[in-house]
Amino acid sequence: MIMKNKTIFVACDTSNLRKIKKIISQTKTNKLKIIPKFGLQFYYSKHGRKFLEKIKDDFWLDLKINDIPQTALSAIDSLKDLKNCKYITIHANGGLQMMKAVKKKAKKINKNLKVLCVTVLTSLNNKSLKEIGHTKSVKQLVLEQVDLIKKSGCDGIVCSAQEAMMVRKKYKRLLIITPGIRLPGDSLNDQKRIMTPQEAFRNQVSGIVIGRSLTRGNIKNNTNRLVDHLNK
Protein backbone atom coordinates (compact mmCIF):
# COMPACT_ATOMS: atom_id res chain seq x y z
CA MET A 1 0.00 0.00 0.00
CA ILE A 2 1.37 3.44 -0.98
CA MET A 3 0.94 6.15 1.68
CA LYS A 4 2.16 9.28 -0.12
CA ASN A 5 -0.47 11.30 1.77
CA LYS A 6 1.51 10.76 4.98
CA THR A 7 4.47 13.16 5.20
CA ILE A 8 7.47 11.91 7.17
CA PHE A 9 10.37 14.19 8.09
CA VAL A 10 13.58 12.35 8.94
CA ALA A 11 15.71 14.22 11.47
CA CYS A 12 19.27 14.35 10.15
CA ASP A 13 20.85 15.06 13.53
CA THR A 14 24.55 14.64 12.85
CA SER A 15 27.42 16.78 11.60
CA ASN A 16 28.86 13.82 9.67
CA LEU A 17 28.32 14.50 5.96
CA ARG A 18 28.73 10.84 5.01
CA LYS A 19 26.04 9.84 7.54
CA ILE A 20 23.74 12.59 6.22
CA LYS A 21 24.05 11.27 2.65
CA LYS A 22 23.42 7.74 3.92
CA ILE A 23 20.28 8.78 5.81
CA ILE A 24 18.89 10.58 2.75
CA SER A 25 19.62 7.74 0.32
CA GLN A 26 18.54 4.86 2.57
CA THR A 27 15.23 6.37 3.70
CA LYS A 28 14.08 6.81 0.09
CA THR A 29 11.03 4.70 -0.65
CA ASN A 30 8.18 4.80 -3.17
CA LYS A 31 5.72 4.01 -0.38
CA LEU A 32 6.13 7.15 1.74
CA LYS A 33 6.88 10.83 1.27
CA ILE A 34 10.08 11.28 3.30
CA ILE A 35 11.71 14.73 3.53
CA PRO A 36 15.04 15.39 5.32
CA LYS A 37 15.05 17.81 8.25
CA PHE A 38 18.33 19.53 9.13
CA GLY A 39 18.83 21.15 12.52
CA LEU A 40 21.45 23.32 14.16
CA GLN A 41 24.04 20.54 14.46
CA PHE A 42 24.35 20.03 10.71
CA TYR A 43 23.73 23.65 9.70
CA TYR A 44 26.55 24.84 11.98
CA SER A 45 28.96 22.11 10.84
CA LYS A 46 31.89 22.68 8.50
CA HIS A 47 30.21 21.16 5.44
CA GLY A 48 26.57 21.74 6.36
CA ARG A 49 25.83 25.09 4.77
CA LYS A 50 27.59 24.20 1.50
CA PHE A 51 25.73 20.90 1.25
CA LEU A 52 22.36 22.62 1.70
CA GLU A 53 23.16 25.07 -1.12
CA LYS A 54 23.48 22.15 -3.54
CA ILE A 55 20.76 19.76 -2.34
CA LYS A 56 18.30 19.10 -5.17
CA ASP A 57 15.22 17.94 -3.24
CA ASP A 58 12.91 19.71 -0.79
CA PHE A 59 14.18 19.93 2.77
CA TRP A 60 13.29 21.44 6.14
CA LEU A 61 15.76 23.77 7.86
CA ASP A 62 14.92 23.54 11.54
CA LEU A 63 16.72 26.56 13.02
CA LYS A 64 14.01 27.51 15.55
CA ILE A 65 14.77 31.22 15.17
CA ASN A 66 13.84 33.20 18.29
CA ASP A 67 15.01 36.81 18.46
CA ILE A 68 13.94 40.42 18.05
CA PRO A 69 12.11 41.00 14.73
CA GLN A 70 14.99 42.68 12.89
CA THR A 71 17.50 39.98 13.80
CA ALA A 72 15.02 37.26 12.81
CA LEU A 73 14.43 39.03 9.47
CA SER A 74 18.16 39.21 8.81
CA ALA A 75 18.49 35.50 9.56
CA ILE A 76 15.73 34.61 7.09
CA ASP A 77 17.19 36.92 4.45
CA SER A 78 20.56 35.14 4.74
CA LEU A 79 18.88 31.89 3.64
CA LYS A 80 17.61 33.14 0.28
CA ASP A 81 20.21 31.15 -1.68
CA LEU A 82 18.86 27.85 -0.29
CA LYS A 83 16.41 27.40 -3.17
CA ASN A 84 15.05 23.99 -2.14
CA CYS A 85 14.39 24.90 1.49
CA LYS A 86 10.65 24.31 1.77
CA TYR A 87 10.20 24.68 5.54
CA ILE A 88 11.81 26.93 8.15
CA THR A 89 11.09 27.05 11.88
CA ILE A 90 10.81 29.97 14.25
CA HIS A 91 9.73 30.02 17.91
CA ALA A 92 6.27 31.23 18.85
CA ASN A 93 8.03 32.64 21.94
CA GLY A 94 9.41 35.37 19.68
CA GLY A 95 5.98 37.01 19.69
CA LEU A 96 3.42 38.17 17.16
CA GLN A 97 5.48 40.93 15.51
CA MET A 98 8.45 38.63 14.93
CA MET A 99 6.24 35.92 13.42
CA LYS A 100 4.46 38.40 11.13
CA ALA A 101 7.74 39.93 9.98
CA VAL A 102 9.34 36.55 9.25
CA LYS A 103 6.32 35.33 7.27
CA LYS A 104 6.35 38.49 5.15
CA LYS A 105 10.09 38.19 4.47
CA ALA A 106 9.88 34.45 3.69
CA LYS A 107 7.22 35.08 1.06
CA LYS A 108 9.48 37.64 -0.63
CA ILE A 109 12.57 35.47 -0.83
CA ASN A 110 10.87 32.17 -1.74
CA LYS A 111 7.14 31.84 -2.47
CA ASN A 112 7.30 28.09 -1.66
CA LEU A 113 8.91 28.55 1.75
CA LYS A 114 6.58 27.59 4.62
CA VAL A 115 7.10 29.14 8.05
CA LEU A 116 6.43 26.72 10.89
CA CYS A 117 6.17 28.02 14.45
CA VAL A 118 7.47 25.89 17.31
CA THR A 119 5.20 25.79 20.36
CA VAL A 120 6.26 23.97 23.56
CA LEU A 121 9.27 21.72 22.95
CA THR A 122 8.55 17.99 23.23
CA SER A 123 11.36 17.66 25.79
CA LEU A 124 9.27 19.74 28.24
CA ASN A 125 6.31 18.78 30.43
CA ASN A 126 4.17 20.60 32.99
CA LYS A 127 6.88 20.32 35.64
CA SER A 128 9.50 21.74 33.23
CA LEU A 129 7.25 24.70 32.39
CA LYS A 130 6.75 25.48 36.07
CA GLU A 131 10.53 25.41 36.61
CA ILE A 132 11.04 28.14 33.99
CA GLY A 133 8.27 30.36 35.36
CA HIS A 134 5.15 29.44 33.38
CA THR A 135 1.94 29.16 35.36
CA LYS A 136 -0.05 27.43 32.62
CA SER A 137 -0.07 23.78 31.61
CA VAL A 138 1.48 22.55 28.35
CA LYS A 139 -1.96 22.27 26.73
CA GLN A 140 -3.05 25.75 27.81
CA LEU A 141 0.18 27.33 26.61
CA VAL A 142 0.12 25.50 23.25
CA LEU A 143 -3.47 26.64 22.56
CA GLU A 144 -2.62 30.27 23.30
CA GLN A 145 0.49 30.07 21.13
CA VAL A 146 -1.49 28.54 18.25
CA ASP A 147 -4.04 31.37 18.41
CA LEU A 148 -1.14 33.81 18.04
CA ILE A 149 0.44 31.79 15.23
CA LYS A 150 -2.83 31.82 13.28
CA LYS A 151 -3.07 35.57 13.78
CA SER A 152 0.48 36.01 12.43
CA GLY A 153 -0.35 34.34 9.11
CA CYS A 154 2.40 31.71 9.44
CA ASP A 155 1.83 28.41 7.67
CA GLY A 156 1.76 25.91 10.48
CA ILE A 157 2.86 24.75 13.89
CA VAL A 158 5.19 22.26 15.50
CA CYS A 159 3.71 20.63 18.59
CA SER A 160 3.66 17.23 20.26
CA ALA A 161 1.16 14.68 18.99
CA GLN A 162 -0.45 14.81 22.43
CA GLU A 163 -1.70 18.33 21.71
CA ALA A 164 -2.41 17.78 18.02
CA MET A 165 -6.00 16.55 18.33
CA MET A 166 -6.88 19.45 20.61
CA VAL A 167 -5.44 21.92 18.07
CA ARG A 168 -7.07 20.13 15.12
CA LYS A 169 -10.53 20.43 16.69
CA LYS A 170 -10.13 24.20 16.73
CA TYR A 171 -8.24 24.65 13.44
CA LYS A 172 -9.36 22.18 10.77
CA ARG A 173 -6.89 23.15 8.03
CA LEU A 174 -3.80 24.15 9.97
CA LEU A 175 -0.50 22.48 9.05
CA ILE A 176 0.46 20.48 12.16
CA ILE A 177 3.87 18.78 12.35
CA THR A 178 4.73 16.61 15.33
CA PRO A 179 8.18 15.60 16.61
CA GLY A 180 8.66 13.23 19.54
CA ILE A 181 7.71 10.20 17.42
CA ARG A 182 9.05 6.73 18.16
CA LEU A 183 8.41 3.34 16.60
CA PRO A 184 6.87 0.87 19.08
CA GLY A 185 9.42 -0.42 21.59
CA ASP A 186 12.08 2.21 20.87
CA SER A 187 13.75 4.23 23.64
CA LEU A 188 12.26 7.60 24.65
CA ASN A 189 15.73 9.20 25.02
CA ASP A 190 15.30 12.90 25.92
CA GLN A 191 11.67 13.18 24.82
CA LYS A 192 8.84 13.38 27.35
CA ARG A 193 5.68 13.74 25.22
CA ILE A 194 5.88 11.02 22.58
CA MET A 195 3.65 8.85 20.37
CA THR A 196 4.00 6.19 17.69
CA PRO A 197 3.52 7.21 14.04
CA GLN A 198 0.13 5.50 13.88
CA GLU A 199 -1.10 7.25 17.01
CA ALA A 200 0.08 10.62 15.68
CA PHE A 201 -1.70 10.25 12.34
CA ARG A 202 -4.86 9.14 14.15
CA ASN A 203 -4.64 12.51 15.92
CA GLN A 204 -4.94 14.11 12.46
CA VAL A 205 -1.45 15.56 12.17
CA SER A 206 -0.18 16.75 8.77
CA GLY A 207 3.27 15.24 9.18
CA ILE A 208 5.60 13.63 11.72
CA VAL A 209 9.29 13.93 12.57
CA ILE A 210 11.26 10.75 13.25
CA GLY A 211 14.93 10.73 14.18
CA ARG A 212 16.62 7.92 16.04
CA SER A 213 13.91 5.33 15.29
CA LEU A 214 14.96 5.62 11.63
CA THR A 215 18.60 6.69 11.75
CA ARG A 216 20.06 4.38 14.41
CA GLY A 217 21.16 0.95 13.24
CA ASN A 218 20.01 -0.37 9.87
CA ILE A 219 18.29 2.58 8.19
CA LYS A 220 16.68 0.57 5.39
CA ASN A 221 15.29 -1.97 7.86
CA ASN A 222 14.01 0.85 10.07
CA THR A 223 12.30 2.47 7.09
CA ASN A 224 10.63 -0.85 6.26
CA ARG A 225 9.54 -1.13 9.91
CA LEU A 226 7.91 2.28 9.59
CA VAL A 227 6.08 1.29 6.39
CA ASP A 228 4.86 -1.95 8.01
CA HIS A 229 3.79 -0.09 11.16
CA LEU A 230 1.74 2.42 9.18
CA ASN A 231 0.14 -0.37 7.12
CA LYS A 232 -1.25 -2.15 10.19
**Catalytic pick from 64, 136, 139, 192?**
64
Which residues, 6 or more positions from 187, have their beta carbon under 8 angstroms from its beta carbon? 212
Q: If residue 53 lies in a helix (H) or strand (E), which one and from where to where?
A: helix 48-54
Q: Spell out where 58-216 has E strands.
A: 59-65, 85-91, 114-118, 156-158, 175-178, 207-210
CA atoms within 13 A of residue 59's CA, in its CB half-sphere: 26
Question: Is residue 172 among the annotated active site residues?
Answer: no
Question: How far apart, in whole angstroms, are the C-alpha atoms of residue 140 and residue 202?
Answer: 22
Question: How far apart, in whole angstroms, are the C-alpha atoms of residue 48 and residue 170?
Answer: 38
Catalytic residue numbers read 64
